[in-house]
Chain A
Amino acid sequence: MKPMRHSLALMVLAGASHTAQAQETLEIIVPFAAGGATDIVARSFEPIFSEQLGVTSVIRNLAGASATVGTSEVAKSEGNPNIIGYEPAGALSIQPSLKDLSYGPDSFTYICRTTSNPMFLMVSKSSDIEDFDQLIAASQEQPLLYGSSGPGTLPQLAVAALVGESDLEASHIPYSGSGPAMNALAGNEIQIMADTETILENYDLRPLAVFAHHRIEGYEDVPTISELGLPEMEFSVWQGLVAPKGISDERKTQYSEACQATLESDRFKSFAENAKAGIAYLGPDEFESFVKERFEANKQVLRDTGLLD
């Protein structure tokens, strides 16, 4: 029975030390399962960030329901200065319009935007469509299909907005993530996909246009949507840090300064280069107005495309 008793004692100790520690550590909620694309960025961000702050921090993955479970956990911890969320664009700027959630754009203290990558309109390299006009011509002959990483995600919204504004004839097929959608694109089950540079570079894809205000460095020959004679459109995949409401201004400044320092550190820069994550810092106020502006814009797209009534 000795080993039994020892292991019990050990477990009690482990449990006790955990609760003792939990009061002083900063909890960073990542609303996706460990190992996902957002989680990888968050895990590279976290050690440098906590070093800057001089605290210990732990990442807690709380996944489910298009990242809204983890996000609402942050929103409902009002007044708790030791919890922040590393949030994706969808959970902050799309899901609150689609679902009946306990939070909205006003439920957070905004800290900073960390990364942002513009989205490209892409077709497979094996297709003979070379530019946007050919895409429209092909879709007039036979309606095309576009993929996305799930219903109500940015890849769907971007192409849906484009279909609404142009003569493009295409309908939506959602997949369970970018990977399966890429597989479908490789097998010609779908023909169009909108996603970031990471996806564009990793697979055999051809960019036709970029959803941004100006052309992107490294892709100088890819036109913006407005250059194609369409209304200006901006869609990007971004991430940022939010804290619950009701934390002190002093704390908020601490967080945003640490965030900025992390993004400027060489360690994070070299990671971002490998992972093709575009560092794009925005301070608390700019980030807040950015999220609110995106929230309204996405809501409009959802209404125009009939996803929301």
Chain B
Amino acid sequence: MDIILAAVGDAFTWQALLAIVVGTWAGIIIGGLPGLGSVVGLTIFLPFTFGMDTITGMALLIGVYCGSVYGGSITAILINTPGTPQSAATTFDGYPMTQQGRIGEALGWATFASFFGGVLSCVILIFCAPQLAKFAVNFGSIEVFALICLAMMCIVGVSKDSIMKGLVCGMIGFFLSMVGADPITGANRFTFGSYALSSGLTLIPVVVGAFALSEIFMRFASRDDPGAKIPEAKLRFPRLGEWFKRVIELVRGSLIGSFIGALPGTGAAAAAFISYATAQKLSPRREHMGQGEPDGIIASESSNNAVTGSSFIPTLALGIPGDVVTAMMMGAMVIHGITPGVRLMVDQAQTVYALFVVLIIVNVAMLILSKPSIGLFRYLFRLHQGYVMAAIVMFSFIGAATVRGNPLDLVVAAVTGILAYALRRAGYPLAPLVIGMVLGPELESSLRRGLLIKNGDFLGFFTHSGISMALFSLLALFIVWTVWSSLTQWRQSSANARRAESDASK
């Protein structure tokens, strides 16, 4: 008990609180600017933490991390351009709501779902970290492959008009992720002998091109009033009755996010897509999803923010960083003399508890700071649309270049932007492209590792473990369900057409 009180004391110093407020606010703004995501935010703030004490430094970084995951949703909703890849799934329902003039409601749901997901995952982190870490260890390559296949089902769900077009884009994304070094043999693929391409294409430049740049091209190409203002951003929190009605969606999204976050090598973007795909099958309002249904925003935002808390589970329980972001946090811990590892919880209990407290305060700070941050975006977006878009182009390129410092990434962003614009004009949805790009590398390497482990035995691959068999059956069920429901839909619509025909002939 003493140790918990001491930890709370550590977290409630004025330095730590100031770091939380500054970090969270900066995180929301950085996350909201397309191109600048969690990794760029942490890279900017990492050097500042060297001179701080451990808790203050970590508080700053956790604030930036959680804030940036939430901030991505603001631009996703306002201008159909996710600020970070993690919020790509928020555009599916967020932007249609904006077009319908329900902008305040959309932002309110995104904010509330982010807060809910963040806090629920903190609770899970505090109470179930060791158990969940032990369970997550059972997710080897084959189980992760099955899980990622499930997430790929999301491609079908978000290709509204034509599943074929969606699949084409998904495969383009998947293919783009294969350029560069082969993850198993290290040999170069699809580089056409160019050394620059051997470092591969990374996610941020592609996302920036596919969403931010193509959206800008679309806006400038559209004939209706190029000087049109971006709609006023207001924030309206859902009323108690409203969120009570959707509490199952909130809990489901948060639990999916918390679990995916505990697995290594998946991350918040994958969690959001898996959660969205699940909501499309299970939400009572699923037929409205993709047309401006708050359940879609909830699915995406509750799960991606739930990853923030639970990504610390493998880090704290096993010392294994779950993704790039937690790897950077582990680096920051090492600088402050804390070595993450299996004994961290025992040796540094007070620090760990203080981190838990910080995580909860960060989520509360995020809820409070959401209003002034959205106010700031409203102020920025009050300018002529041309200036806003020009600034977004600039930030997009800064973000693309900062990730690796590689000039190739600027070219990639520009080329993807032009290609994406052409695809959009031809009616191809772009979200599947990003889904393919996000999930592709892990899908490929987990499949190939699994086959190496099984010596190329495909049957053994599918019957590897109870978890993998359950996941593969679920996948088969999903596919049968989708085919079945589209068949009945087709039969119904053709029956209607026949009836209409016979009505007309009468």
Contacts and interface: CB of A to CB of B under 8 A. Distances in A.
Interface in B187-235: 188, 195, 198-200
A150 interface: yes
A183 B139 CA distance: 9
Interface string A188-208: 010000000010011110000
B199 A69 contact: yes
A40 B331 contact: yes
B293 to A, nearest CB: 36
B317 to A, nearest CB: 10
A61 B404 contact: yes
Contact of A145 (B42, B200, B453): B453
Interface stretch (B105-113, B177-185, B280-288): B177-185
A57 to B, nearest CB: 13
A35 B46 contact: yes
A187 B339 contact: no
A102 B186 CA distance: 17
A151 to B, nearest CB: 3
B339 A202 contact: yes
B383 interface: yes
Contacts of A180: 264-265, 320
A171 interface: yes
A39 B332 CA distance: 11
Interface in B246-273: 264-265
Given A63-B406, A151-B183, A174-B183, A204 B327 contact: no
A135 B207 CA distance: 47
B335 A4 contact: no
Q: How many B residues touch the partner, as a band?
A: 35 or more
A183 B181 contact: no
Interface string A162-179: 000000000101111101
B331 A202 contact: no
Interface in A115-167: 145, 150-152
Given A40-B331, A65-B198, A34 B186 contact: no
Interface residues of A, number: 51
B17 interface: no
B375 to A, nearest CB: 15
B272 to A, nearest CB: 21
B141 A39 contact: no
A68 to B, nearest CB: 8
B404 A64 contact: yes
Contacts of B341: 201-203
A20 interface: no
A4 B186 contact: no
Contacts of A102: 195
Sorted nearest first, the 4 A-B pairs with minimum C-beta distance are: A64-B199, A35-B328, A202-B341, A151-B186
Interface of B: 39, 42-43, 46-47, 50, 136-141, 180-186, 188, 195, 198-200, 264-265, 314, 318-322, 324, 327-328, 331-332, 334-335, 337, 339-342, 383, 387, 403-406, 445, 449, 452-453
Interface of A: 4, 33-37, 39-40, 43-44, 60-66, 69, 72, 98-102, 145, 150-152, 171, 173-177, 179-180, 182-184, 186-187, 189, 198, 201-204, 271, 274-276
26 contacts: A4-B387, A33-B403, A36-B331, A40-B335, A62-B406, A63-B406, A64-B200, A65-B198, A69-B199, A98-B186, A99-B198, A145-B452, A145-B453, A174-B184, A174-B449, A180-B265, A183-B136, A184-B140, A186-B137, A187-B140, A189-B141, A189-B453, A201-B341, A202-B319, A202-B341, A275-B334
Given A63-B405, A187-B138, A203-B319, 20 more contacts: A37-B331, A40-B331, A43-B50, A65-B180, A69-B406, A98-B186, A99-B198, A101-B195, A150-B183, A151-B185, A175-B449, A176-B445, A179-B264, A179-B327, A183-B318, A186-B320, A198-B339, A203-B320, A274-B334, A275-B335
